Amino acid sequence: MHRLIRIVLFFRYVFKSRLVNAAPALVVLLCTLPVSAEPEIRILVLGDSLTAGYGLAEPDSFPAQLEQALKKGGTSVRILNAGVSGDTSAGGRARLEWSLASKPHAVVIELGANDGLRGLNPKATAANLDAIVSALKRKGLAVLLVGMRAPPNLGADYGQEFSAIFGRIAAKYEIALYPFFLDGVATYENLNQADGIHPNAEGVGVIVTNILPFIQRLVSQARSVR
């Protein structure tokens, strides 16, 4: 489209200035000019060890594999790794502002796993995630919230209350929700490291494949509000 506009404007100039004889060569020149690429979208992933890439080489981490998958599909994107191993929703909330210093266009929130592992009060987790999403919405950023599940040993009541946090916040702020970060990976021994908690490189690949459509929609949303 940009190339066509340049050619049309060129012909208007040619016929107004009577430079018709020079037109063919100049048209060829115009057609060889590169079409401007879409601007790069920066996506911050605010998370814990599942984002940071605990136990993995950097290229095998979730942000790195996600960036490669998006670029392979032709998307101009940079994924910013704001994962801190052991972090809770409170920790993510506390470091939100300086995490945004890279000026992302969109944010993926992957927090809550450590809250569940420690059996923290779901109301506190909900308050932290709510504050994070609220702050991002005020800044006009595109947001994807990633859900998490509590360990089954904490009981059904705790698990239900914990799992409900994510859908409730997503509905409140009208943002996209990816229901469970470890979908298709949790409990699969061959997709996890020896601790049975953190995915290995292959497991991260499964996560990336599953979440990719959500991230692609997030990119589109970020472009529309730029």
Note the pLDDT tens digit of each residue in 44-63.
999 999 999 999 999 999 99
For the chain, domain boundaries: 2-31, 41-225
Q: Looking at residue 5, what is its pLDDT?
A: 44
Looking at 105, 115, 163, 198, which residue is catalytic? 198
Q: Which residues touch 177 (CB under 8 Å, ≥6 apart)?
A: 144, 145, 146, 147, 166, 167, 170
Q: Can you tell me the distance from the alpha carbon of 147 to that of 61, in angstroms, rounded to the nearest whole number?
A: 19
- The average pLDDT across 187-191 equals 97
Q: Can you tell me the distance from the alpha carbon of 162 to that of 159, in angstroms, rounded to the nearest whole number?
A: 5
In the structure, how many helices (H) and strands (E) does the chain have?
A: 10, 5
- Is 195 noted as a catalytic residue in this protein? yes
- The average pLDDT across 76-94 equals 98
Confidence label for 37 from pLDDT (cuts 50, 70 and 90) = low
Looking at 17, 36, 157, 195, which residue is catalytic? 195
Q: Which of 59, 52, 37, 42 is nearest to 218 (CA)?
A: 42
* pLDDT greater at residue 162 or residue 23: 162
Looking at 48, 49, 89, 105, which residue is catalytic? 49
Q: Where is 109: in which H helix or E strand? A: strand 106-110
Q: Is the pLDDT of residue 30 over 60?
A: no
Confidence label for 132 from pLDDT (cuts 50, 70 and 90) = very high
What percentage of the chain reaches a pLDDT higher than 70? 83
pTM above 0.75, yes or no: yes
Q: Looking at residue 38, what is its pLDDT?
A: 80
The answer to whether 100 and 38 are in contact (CB under 8 A) is no
Mean pLDDT for all residues in the chain: 89
Q: Looking at residue 24, what is its pLDDT?
A: 53
Q: Which of 6, 9, 11 is nearest to 31 (CA)?
A: 6
- Is 49 noted as a catalytic residue in this protein? yes
Q: Can you tell me the distance from the alpha carbon of 78 to that of 64, in angstroms, rounded to the nearest whole number?
A: 9
- Is 115 noted as a catalytic residue in this protein? no
Overall fold of domain 41-225: Rossmann fold (3.40.50)
Encoded amino acid at 165, one letter: I
pLDDT in tens, 57-84: 999 999 999 999 999 999 999 999 999 9
> Which segment of 17-31, 102-116, 143-157, 173-187 scores lowest on mean pLDDT?
17-31
